[in-house]
Amino acid sequence: MSQSIIGAAKPRVDGPAKLSGQARYAADHFPANMAYAYGVFSTIAAGKIASIDVSKARQQPGVIEIFHHGNFPHLHRSPSSFASQTKVDETRLPFEDDTIYYGGQFVALVVADTFENARDAAHYVDVQYTPSEPVTSLSQALQKNGSKPSEKNQHERGNPDGAYQSAPHKIEATYTTPVETHNPMEMHATTASWNDGDLTFYEASQGVVFAKNTIAAIFGINPARIDARSPYIGSGFGSKLWIWPHAVCATAASRELGRPVQLMVPRHQMFTTTGHRPATQQKLRLATDDDGKLVSISHDSVNSTSFVNRYVETCGVCTSSLYGCDNVRVTEGTAQVNQGTPTSMRAPGAAPGLFALESAIDEMAEALNMDPLAFRKKNYTERDGSQDKPFSSIHLMEAYDRGAEKFGWSKRDPEIGSMRNGTEILGWGMAACNWDALRQSSHARVALRADGRAMVSCATQDIGTGTYTIIAQTVADITGLPLDRIDVEIGDSAYPSGPISGGSWASASALPAVQNAARKAVDQLKGFATQDGATYADASTDKLSFDNGTLSLEGGESTDYTAVLKGQRLAEAFGEAYTGGDEKKDGYSYRSFGAHFVEIGWDPGISRLRVHRVVSAIDVGQIVNEKTATNQVEGAIEMGIGMALFEATEYDHRSGMPVNNNYAEYVVPTHADSPESIDVVLLDYPDYKLNELGVRGIGEIGITGMAAAVANAVYHATGKRVRDLPIRIEDLMRT
Ligand code: MOS
């Protein structure tokens, strides 16, 4: 066995296909006789449809059919259940009735012979509305109707209020984060084809198994008749986890019309019907004793949700366990606004939650006149107080130390505005990061072929993160075959059931199943080799070793394994992981950890704010591929900078319609906004309690805490504590 392939900085095996344009995304499939669908979207955020006149639209060139609530086929709402793998955040089906719950809701669907004709005809659909007063923001919703507490994810231990009252040092502050919209490069799209009651659909999806099961539930058919495909995805950040209305629209139109239909969601619609991170309002109260030991933490949050479904942003998800403290309360609640239904966005709960918590920790350290790193170390814990269990593997202290060392934290002058470089005031801030280490049951198939290649298949996906590559590395590790002789098949629900590409679950779930299947395939090969009449007919299989494509008998001869497969088509096996147990029942809490250190520069003369450099030390278990892992954290840091300084979906407070619903006005960091250096330190301690590979998953942790680290650095430079994201230069110009 070659150990070195696990952890190696291998380039993406799917890179050439992407660079050469051979990688085809959901809207790059053009089945014969395909028609194109384009939505007509509500121009009001609340009210009723008074009338829809399609007569003029019908006369436009190429129009085939126009659907709306008067003629759309009857379908079934899918249950939203992780256990049944039919999760859907907006359970309302498109065109269910004439009620408008949010701006941009589908009110009609035009199907035409070309994309251009469908889009053009959509403008001729005449929809008249009876508007009512929309609720346009979280604060307005709270004022008007208050919030509803969430039943789930609440936590209380000890006596947080009593301990707060009697403590000598305390802070209380409220933090807010705005609606943020996922903006993956690839637009959402569905290409659906029915054939004799069987459905094949290409969907920009982070979970083909869930997509298959959810569409099966909605259309009331056997999931076995559906093939959901998502071979390549131009990222998703959570917006492509579950089925949204456009997929139902395209699939239904295709069935009604008896021909393939493609629907690509235009960018502006991705601000309304495919989810967003909700707005949050979070009240933090922290108290310590005279030594700086936390004695009380409470974190009470509310988030915006739609009038259609309830989505809870679990802002307190890290607060209950990140620091050692006996008196802790976490509550979450929701308030309804006339917006589409929110959904998971990279590190849901933790990203806004740790902005609030890690800002509050900085404020508490300041109140104690303590260094913020020293304050965190003082309150370090190796036990998850919310579950009263030890963490399975924690190296947060080392993350603090190595990050601080690399950054030069010991040279920080704590005095506000004291560090300068030319005309700029420098600010140094830091924050902890934290995320769940989750996993779900997974299956995989590995086959060794007589032509010297191996095939591996699993119904998981690569959302641009490196899944193809690390699955190939896992097979290479067991078989010794080079990566270019391993064919990875993922992104198709026809393969053995695999994990969603979300929640940082895919690696920790899929790789152990792949490893298991690869081992069994090698066993199968050895079985063939020792059959009657085979090369090692009389040998016992445990005397045979397999390495680099060669079978060797202990103290005897070696054979290329392909010779053994002559006459046998494949040495093939299925593997699985976590199919039986419930990890929550065992004795550990599984989480990942890390720390960000950030330098910002504030030039008051020209009101310029820049993030100069970031050092992040990350503890996520075994690193499978140093290159793709580093890349994940770098991307998350950029996204965290976006969260800190730029991103906010703005709604017109009169109409409730999103205003900056395009790439030009929804501001994300460009290269010019990026730090001169991002240093990612991967600690690389395998977590063998989670799985045999020691892998936890790395997709989300890098964004957690990042906005707080920036805000804390801004405070250090300017003395301005910005508690409402994004931080705008106007906040810093105020005197
Ligand atoms: Mo992630 S928000 O689970 O794609």
CA distance 633 to 167: 38
- Determine the straight-line distance between the first and last CA of the chain, rounded to whole angstroms: 64
* Top mutation candidate among 346, 461, 643 for ligand 1, by most atoms within 8 Å of CB: 346
Among residues 463, 454, 473, which one has the least CA distance to residue 511? 473
Kindly tell me if the per-residue pLDDT of 491 is higher than 90.
yes
Nearest protein CA to atom 4 of ligand 1, as residue: 238
Q: DSSP string spanning 278-327?
A: PPEEEEEEEEE-TTS-EEEEEEEEEEEE-SS------TTTTTTTSS--S-
Which atom of ligand 1 approaches the CA of 343 most closely?
2
- Taking the centre of ligand 1 as the mean of its atom positions, its distance from the CA of residue 538, in whole angstroms, is 52
Mutate to test the pocket of ligand 1, among 87, 235, 241 (most ligand atoms within 8 A of CB): 241
pLDDT tens track for 47-75: 999 999 999 999 999 999 999 999 999 99
Could you tell me the pLDDT band of residue 366, with boundaries at 50, 70 and 90?
A: very high
Q: What is the DSSP string of 234-250?
A: S--TTTTSS--HHHHHH
CA distance 141 to 649: 17
Query: Treating both helix axes as pointing N-terminal to C-terminal, what angle do 706-718 and 626-645 enclose, rounded to 10 degrees?
Result: 50
- For the chain, which domains are there? 15-21+440-578 (3.30.365.10), 31-133+185-234+240-271 (3.90.1170.50), 340-437+586-733 (3.30.365.10)
Question: CA torsion 642→646→649→655, rounded to 10°?
Answer: 180
Percent of the chain clearing pLDDT 70 (strictly above): 99
What does the pLDDT look like over 660-671, one tens digit per residue?
Answer: 999 999 999 999
- Report which of residues 579 and 499 the model is more confident about: 499
In Å, how far are 6, 221, 459 from 214, measured between CA atoms?
35, 10, 15
Rounded CA gap, 144 and 650, in Å?
20
| pLDDT of 1 over the 80 cut | no
Pairing label, strands 226-229, 198-203? parallel
Q: Is the pLDDT of residue 600 over 80?
A: yes
Q: Give me the torsion for CA of 662, 667, 673, 674, rounded to 10°.
A: -80
Give the nearest ligand 1 atom to 502 CA. Answer: 3
- What mean pLDDT do residues 131-157 have? 94
Radius of gyration of the chain (CA): 27
Q: How confident is the model at residue 2 (pLDDT cuts 50, 70, 90)?
A: very low
pLDDT at site 57: 98
Q: How far is the CA of 238 from the centre of ligand 1 (A)?
A: 4
Ligand 1 atom at minimum distance from 238 CA:
4
What's the pLDDT at 567? 75
3-state secondary structure of 12: coil
Q: What is the pLDDT of residue 534?
A: 85
Ligand 1: which atom is nearest the Cα of residue 345?
2
CA of 554 to the centre of ligand 1 (A): 48
Contact 257, 35 (CB under 8 A): yes
pLDDT at 720 over 90: yes
Contact 238, 343 (CB under 8 A): yes
Q: How far apart are CA 710 and CA 612, in angstroms?
A: 10
Number of H helices, E strands in the chain: 16, 30
How far CA 227 is from CA of 31, 198, 259, 381, 493, in Å, comes to 15, 8, 16, 46, 6
Q: Which of 50, 52, 28 is nearest to 40 (CA)?
A: 52
**Candidate from 344, 436, 463 with most ligand 1 atoms within 8 A of CB, to mutate:** 344
pLDDT, mean over the chain: 96
pTM: 0.97
> What six digits make up the tokens of 439?
């996993």
- The count of C-alpha atoms lying within 13 angstroms of the C-alpha of 528, restricted to the half-sphere facing its C-beta, is 24
Residue 202 has pLDDT above 50, yes or no: yes
Q: How far is the CA of 306 from the centre of ligand 1 (A)?
A: 19
Closest among 365, 379, 94 to 253, alpha carbons compared: 94
pLDDT at 541 > cutoff 60: yes
Report the pLDDT value the prediction gives residue 79, as an integer from 0 to 100: 93
The predicted structure's pLDDT at residue 707: 98
State pLDDT tens for residues 401-458: 999 999 999 999 999 999 999 999 999 999 999 999 988 999 999 999 999 999 999 9
Does residue 495 sit in helix, strand or coil? Answer: coil
Query: 176: burial class by Cβ within 10 Å (0-12, 13-18, 19+)?
Result: middle
- Name the nearest CA neighbour of 448 among 599, 566, 278: 566
**What's the pLDDT score for residue 583?**
54
Pocket of ligand 1 (CB under 6 A): 206, 236-238, 241, 344-346, 348, 502-503
- CA 3, CA 1: separation in Å to the nearest integer? 6
Residue 431 CA to chain centroid, in angstroms?
21
- Is 209 in a helix, a strand, or coil? helix
Q: How confident is the model at residue 581 (pLDDT cuts 50, 70, 90)?
A: low
Measured between alpha carbons, how far is 224 from 649 in angstroms, rounded to an integer?
40
* Environment class of 735 (CB within 10 Å of its CB; exposed 0-12, middle 13-18, buried 19+): exposed
The set of catalytic residues is 700
Q: What is the pLDDT of residue 70?
A: 97
What distance in Å separates the CA atoms of residue 602 and residue 729, rounded to the nearest whole number? 9
Band (pLDDT 50/70/90 cuts) for residue 334 is: very high
Helix axes 706-718, 350-368, angle to 10 degrees: 30
Distance 596 CA to ligand 1 centre (A): 21
Q: What is the pLDDT of residue 579?
A: 81
Residue 459: in which H helix or E strand, if any? none
| Gap between the Cα atoms of 242 and 385, Å rounded | 32
Measured CA to CA in angstroms, residue 388 lies from 253, 326, 381, 439, 502 at distances of 52, 11, 11, 21, 27
Structure tokens at 688: 């063998």
pLDDT digits (tens, 9 = 90+) for 614-652: 999 999 999 999 999 999 999 999 999 999 999 999 999
The dihedral over CA atoms of 290, 292, 296, 299, expressed in degrees to the nearest 10, equals 140
Please work out, in degrees rounded to the nearest 5, the angle formed at the alpha carbon of residue 600 by the alpha carbons of 595 and 605: 165
Buried b (16+ CB within 10 A) or exposed e, 94-110: bbeebebbbbbbbbbbb
- Phi first, then psi: what are they for 7, rounded to 5°? 105, -20
